[in-house]
Structure 1
C-alpha cells in the first residue's frame, strides 16, 4: 500500500508513496485507489483514504488538491476544501503535502533544516511551464539547501511524445535535448531526467530518483497512458 522512499531525510521529516496493492476499490481501479475524480465508488475511495491516514498516524485528513497540470502552489493549511493547485507547501507539523499521479512525476521536497516541505505534481506540461520553479519560490532558503525526491512515473522507455514537446522544453533549456531519444518520427522523453535538469538549474543538487516506471509495472502502479481508466497513487511528505 505505502512505502518509504529510499531517500535520506532530515530529522522530523517523513515521506511515503503508495502503490495500487490492497485497498477496497474494484476493477479497473483495483485496489488502493486514492483518486476521487476517476469514477471509482465514493465509499471505496473514502475507505482507502481513511486507511492511509490511520496507517500513517496522521493527526488530520490529507489535504488533497484539484490538479490541473498547472503551476499554482497552495500553502497548507488551505482555506478551500479542494484547492486548485499542482503543488502544496507547508511549514506546520502534522499537515501532509500530497499529490496524486498515474504517470506524471511526483516530486517531494524539503529543506535541510527540516522545517519546510512541499509536494509537486509535474506532468510534462506543468514541468515545462514551471511548477518546480513555483514551489521552490516558497522555500526560505537557496536551492542548495533543498533536497528533492522524484517518485514513480512513466519511464523513458515508454513516454512517447511529439517534436512539439521537445521544442517547448528546449525553448527553456537547450540541455533538455539530451532527455529526448528519437523514436521513429517521434521521441521518447525522459521525464525524471527533465525534472532533475530543471532542479539542478535552480540550484537543487541533492536529487534522488526512485527509478520506478508506472507504465512497466501494471501489477504495482496505476498508469493512465497504459490503461486509460484507472486509479491514482499518491506521494506525501510532512513534518512529524
Structure 2
C-alpha cells in the first residue's frame, strides 16, 4: 500500500485527490532516492522510477498526465493528452472524469483546485517563480472559463516552510512590487539582504487576488520531515512527490 496524504477540504463528492509521500517504493531504491520517487528527470534509475509509477497507477483511474515543469506560469488542459506525452507547463487542468492531473514537487508548493460543482479540476506547481509569474491566477482564470460554479476552492499541499526557505532581496521585491501587502510573508533572514519567505502565505494572497477565498491545508513542511518528504533545499539531489487530482464521474451524477 502506497503511503499518501488525502487533502482535508470540502471538495465535491466526484473529486478525488492525493499527495504522495516518499514512503513505500521499489524495493531496489536506496540512498538519496529511497522511497517512492516519481520523477524521471532526476538521476534515479529510469526502471525504478517506472516501477514506482506503475505502483501508483494501481490506485488511480488512469495514468497521470505528467508535465515537463519549467518553473513558469503556464497552465494546460490535459484532457486530450496521454501518458506518453509530457506537455511543457506548470499546471494541469481537466474537465473530463478519469483524467488524472499531476505535478511533481520537492519543496515547491502543490496547489490543488476544483470548483464546487465538480465540473473542473486543476493542480499547479508553485515555487516562488511560478507564484510571482501568476501560475495560480492563470490556472484559476482558465478553470473559470469552463466551470459550472463561481466558487473555486484550493488545498495547499506540503512545501518548504518559511523557517527553512531563505531568499534574497530580489525575490521579496518581486512580490512587494506586485502587492505591498506581500511584505508580511517575509521575515528578516540571518544577514542583511536575506529573508525567510512563506510560500503558503504568498499562495493565499495570490488565491485571494484570483477570487479564491476558501483555502485549506498549508501546514506541512517538506524540509523538516526527511522520513516522509523529499526536499531539494535540504538534500540537493533528491526525488519528487506528486500532487494528483481527478473527477470520478460527470458533475451532477454524484
Q: TM > 0.5 between the two? A: yes
1:147 matched residue in structure 2: 153
Q: Deviations over 1:89-145 (max 9, x none)?
A: 100000011100000000000001011000000010010010011111112359960
Q: Is 1:114 equivalent to 2:118 in the alignment? A: yes
Q: Please tell me whether the aligned partners of residues 15 and 238 of structure 1 are also in contact (alpha carbons under 8 angstroms).
A: yes
Question: SS of the residue aligned with 1:6?
Answer: coil
Match of 2:183 among 177, 185, 196: 177
Match of 2:129 among 119, 125, 132: 125
The CA distance in 1 between the partners of 2:240 and 2:77, in whole Å, is 23
Q: Deviations over 1:49-104 (max 9, x none)?
A: 111110x242x211100000011111022447110000011000000111000000
The CA distance in 2 between the partners of 1:6 and 1:193, in whole Å, is 18
Q: What is the TM-score with the length of structure 1 in the denominator?
A: 0.96
Alignment of 1:55-66 (within 5 A): 56-58=59-61, 60-66=62-68
Question: SS of the residue aligned with 2:138?
Answer: helix
Question: SS of the residue aligned with 1:23?
Answer: coil
Q: What is the TM-score with the length of structure 2 in the denominator?
A: 0.90
Structure 2 unaligned residues grouped into runs of 5+: 249-254
1:10 matched residue in structure 2: 12
Relative distance call for 1:57 and 1:191 in structure 2 (3 A) is closer
Structure 1 unaligned residues grouped into runs of 5+: none
Matched pairs, number: 238
1:42 matched residue in structure 2: 46
Task: Give the Å deviation of 1:165.
Answer: 0.3
The CA distance in 2 between the partners of 1:177 and 1:144, in whole Å, is 29
Out of 22-31 and 85-94, give the one that drifted further.
Answer: 22-31
Question: SS of the residue aligned with 1:139?
Answer: helix
Give 4+ residue runs of structure 1 displaced > 4 Å after superposition: 141-144
Q: Is 1:31 equivalent to 2:38 in the alignment? A: no
Alignment of 1:1-240 (within 5 A): 1-24=3-26, 25-54=29-58, 56-58=59-61, 60-79=62-81, 81-140=85-144, 141=147, 145-183=151-189, 184-185=191-192, 186-240=194-248
Task: Give the Å deviation of 1:26.
Answer: 2.1
Q: Please tell me whether the aligned partners of residues 222 and 230 of structure 2 are also in contact (alpha carbons under 8 angstroms).
A: yes
Give the superposed CA RMSD. 1.4
Relative distance call for 1:118 and 1:48 in structure 2 (3 A) is same
Question: SS of the residue aligned with 2:207?
Answer: helix
Q: Please tell me whether the aligned partners of residues 100 and 121 of structure 1 are also in contact (alpha carbons under 8 angstroms).
A: yes
Out of 73-82 and 17-26, give the one that drifted further.
Answer: 73-82
